[in-house]
Structure 1
Amino acid sequence: MNNNNNNTDLVDSMYRVETISRFAQWKILNFPSCTYRKSDPFNISIWNWYLSVERNRVSCIKLYPQISKHNLPIASFIIRLLSSAGDHKSLAHSETREKLLSNTEDFVWLIETPLPGKFIIDIEFLDLKISCPKGGGDPFSIWPNRSMLQRSNAANLESLGRMLTEGIHTDITIHACDGSIGAHRAVLAARSPVFRSMFSYNLMEKDLSTINISDMPIEACQAFLYYLYGNLKHEEFMMHRLALLHAADKYDICDLREACHESLLQDIDENNVLDRLQHAWLYQLPNLKLGCMQYLVKFGKIFYIQHDFTAFLQSAHRDLISQLFHQVLDACQGL
């Protein structure tokens, strides 16, 4: 009686795939030549899966989900073939990413080397996506992943933005040249070392709970705060770039400074090039300065803005004018 039970357990173990979390493992302890074996179904996430192994002229391993007309998986996984020796040495390795799997379009891994009599098939599922979600739309992962984390971070930023726009427990008032807005010391101090210093020492800003930003209109000041709180819209950024550059330089916010620098470099034209060149000089933006000079000299646009250029010569710093004329002389010598 015991022998029959042992034999039954042994037969069951030949087809059983062990699973835990995102891992599946099939131990094959006796696989004779010229044969085929298919596993029992095993569950990973919302699907039941099968493995099969066949040894013929070319050995192959297959992985496929149970027959289903809906919600076919798009799988990203690593599959390995290991020896059953104590060191579990890997004999071969294959990796598949973003592959749609079905009972007819399964994963087939052809193995050139001879299969041993004892081996282990080890699968690590990296991600599983539903290919045909109800109502259409793009495939989405059924596991918490980076995209879900990004959505969570976006929700957190939205909540932080609401603290500003709805005035939730503000504890400091910012006075612009034409209006005022409430804000939070902790947020300002975390984003700017200048603000942090204001609130750390016995300065007027700490005692009166106010900050005067009289060199910015209220709309630009709001855009500045929206950036610090993580909810500045693109059109607002584009509208107030120069004011934001000034604020970034004044309050030592390096990421905003670089964002403005890169953006101002992307849309230089005849109407703004001289103004951009002045700002590049004032705020020490080397790439913007070089881009403006190349636009004026290398592309010859300096000849199309003679009236504006005359006004520029009267107001620009003499060192900047000198550098520009050196660019002109170098270009003439290269002709």
Structure 2
Amino acid sequence: MSTSDSAYRVETAPRLAQWKIDSLASCTYRKSDPFKIGNWNWHLSVEKNRLLYVKLYPVISNLNKDQPPIASFVVRLRCSSGDCRSLVHPGVVDKRLKNSEDFVWAIETPLAGKFIINVDFINLKTADPNGGEPSSIWSGSAVQTRSSITTLSYLGRMLTEKIHTDITINASDGSIAAHRAVLATRSPVFHSMFSHNLKEKELSTIDISDMSIEACQALLNYIYGNIQHEEFLAHRIALLRAADKYDIADLKEVCHDSLLEDIDTKNVLERLQNASLYQLPMLKSSCMRYLVNFGKIFDIRDDFNAFLQYADRELIAEIFQEVLNVWKGF
């Protein structure tokens, strides 16, 4: 890719966009290539005259005309030289964006040299055609749908009403009755337990001491096809651990996809650690980019220093190699 092409390219991660600009002449206008966040393609533009104007807007289309995004986001600007090293816009909450004039950030501080524009998309909503409250595009029922199509709808009733249950699962703080046939169908590990003369087969019990009763209930609700989105979100990490332990491939995939969607400064280190532990390269790469390429490592300096005390040495080496690679190119 030529230098001129790369000058207009915006890098993206889940809910994040980053545009690196090497330099701007005293009177210049530049518009980025389109980049996709959520359901829309977007542009960033900069115009330098007496002030520097930064604009964010969706690409004009039928979707944008009929269902313009209602966006909440924060824009940050970092520069390599001049009087200012970092600027942060106060933030935008639930603003309907239809054209290039709906969000304009006028910056009076003189800027020189290279600079980077980061956009953190906090939420994107669409209007209710019936006049109700706008709904977030990131709060759908994909998890419940994925669970439902891999099981039969009546299994949920079998679990909740304990119809002909024949196995007891002992969690760390309680027990739940279930059906060995259902568990064996969904997990090769459970299938092996019930197919050999192991204590699980003889005693009709399974000990899952590393899960709370609430997390264990969420696991069974997923297996039986009646998990709720909020319940899933509350127990994603425990469900990921169980999916890996009991070889439930579709649950592991759902957890991975969900964890990719809402990486932030509060959870990125935990997710990076789990991505390394459970061999999730895409989640690992996204966490690395969030920390290093988007500069979030500086926002959580204390937490990161604590993370260095217990994290895997190979993982720490990968992070610092990524830091070196990024600063070589800046």
SS at 1:157's partner residue?
Answer: coil
Q: Quick check: 1:265 aligned with 2:260?
A: yes
Query: In structure 2, how many angstroms separate the alpha carbons of the residues matched to 1:199 and 1:215?
Result: 20
Task: Give the TM-score taking structure 2 as reference length.
Answer: 0.54
Q: Quick check: 1:231 aligned with 2:230?
A: no
**Structure with the greater alpha carbon radius of gyration:** 1
Query: In structure 1, how many angstroms separate the alpha carbons of the residues matched to 2:179 and 2:266?
Result: 39
Shift of 1:159: 1.8
Give the alignment partner of residue 313 of structure 2, picking from 294, 315, 318: 318
Aligned residue runs from structure 1 range 15-94, under 5 A: none
Q: Quick check: 1:307 aligned with 2:302?
A: yes
Q: State the AA in 2 paired with 1:259.
A: V
Shift of 1:328: 0.1
Give the alignment partner of residue 284 of structure 2, picking from 284, 289, 292: 289
Give the alignment partner of residue 204 of structure 2, picking from 200, 209, 224: 209
Q: Quick check: 1:171 aligned with 2:166?
A: yes
Q: Deviations over 1:198-248 (max 9, x none)?
A: 000000000000000000000000000011111111111111000000000
Number of equivalent positions: 183
Query: In structure 1, how many angstroms separate the alpha carbons of the residues matched to 2:252 and 2:287?
Result: 18
Q: State the AA in 2 paired with 1:309.
A: F
Q: Which residue of 2 aligns with 1:161?
A: 156
Shift of 1:157: 3.3
Q: State the AA in 1 paired with 2:184.
A: A
Query: In structure 2, how many angstroms separate the alpha carbons of the residues matched to 1:273 and 1:251?
Result: 25
Q: Deviations over 1:168-208 (max 9, x none)?
A: 10000000000000000100000000000000000000000
Q: Deviations over 1:258-311 (max 9, x none)?
A: 000010010000110011100000001000000000000100000010100011
Q: Deviations over 1:146-169 (max 9, x none)?
A: xxxx9xx88x83321010011110
SS at 2:288's partner residue?
Answer: helix
Query: In structure 2, how many angstroms separate the alpha carbons of the residues matched to 1:187 and 1:198?
Result: 13
SS at 1:227's partner residue?
Answer: helix
Query: In structure 2, how many angstroms separate the alpha carbons of the residues matched to 1:275 and 1:261?
Result: 13
Q: State the AA in 2 paired with 1:274.
A: L
Mark the runs of 5 or more structure 1 residues left unpaired by the alignment: 1-149
Aligned residue runs from structure 1 range 8-19, under 5 A: none
Query: In structure 2, how many angstroms separate the alpha carbons of the residues matched to 1:292 and 1:304?
Result: 14
SS at 1:158's partner residue?
Answer: coil
Query: In structure 2, how many angstroms separate the alpha carbons of the residues matched to 1:157 and 1:234?
Result: 18
Q: State the AA in 2 paired with 1:327.
A: E
Q: Which residue of 2 aligns with 1:55?
A: none
Q: Quick check: 1:327 aligned with 2:319?
A: no
Q: Deviations over 1:85-137 (max 9, x none)?
A: xxxxxxxxxxxxxxxxxxxxxxxxxxxxxxxxxxxxxxxxxxxxxxxxxxxxx
Q: Which residue of 2 aligns with 1:279?
A: 274
SS at 1:268's partner residue?
Answer: coil
Query: In structure 2, how many angstroms separate the alpha carbons of the residues matched to 1:287 and 1:297?
Result: 15
Q: Which residue of 2 aligns with 1:96?
A: none
Aligned residue runs from structure 1 range 177-256, under 5 A: 177-256=172-251
Query: In structure 2, how many angstroms separate the alpha carbons of the residues matched to 1:254 and 1:319?
Result: 26
SS at 2:176's partner residue?
Answer: strand
Query: In structure 1, how many angstroms separate the alpha carbons of the residues matched to 2:241 and 2:264?
Result: 21
Q: Deviations over 1:1-39 (max 9, x none)?
A: xxxxxxxxxxxxxxxxxxxxxxxxxxxxxxxxxxxxxxx
Task: Give the TM-score taking structure 1 as reference length.
Answer: 0.54
Query: In structure 2, how many angstroms separate the alpha carbons of the residues matched to 1:331 and 1:229?
Result: 45
Q: State the AA in 2 paired with 1:296.
A: L
Query: In structure 2, how many angstroms separate the alpha carbons of the residues matched to 1:189 and 1:159?
Result: 17
The answer to whether the 8 A contact 1:157-1:231 is kept is no
Aligned residue runs from structure 1 range 141-152, under 5 A: none
Query: In structure 1, how many angstroms separate the alpha carbons of the residues matched to 2:283 and 2:154?
Result: 35
Query: In structure 1, how many angstroms separate the alpha carbons of the residues matched to 2:291 and 2:199?
Result: 46
Query: In structure 1, how many angstroms separate the alpha carbons of the residues matched to 2:297 and 2:154?
Result: 48
Identity %: 68
Query: In structure 2, how many angstroms separate the alpha carbons of the residues matched to 1:246 and 1:318?
Result: 21
SS at 1:260's partner residue?
Answer: helix
Q: State the AA in 2 paired with 1:302.
A: I
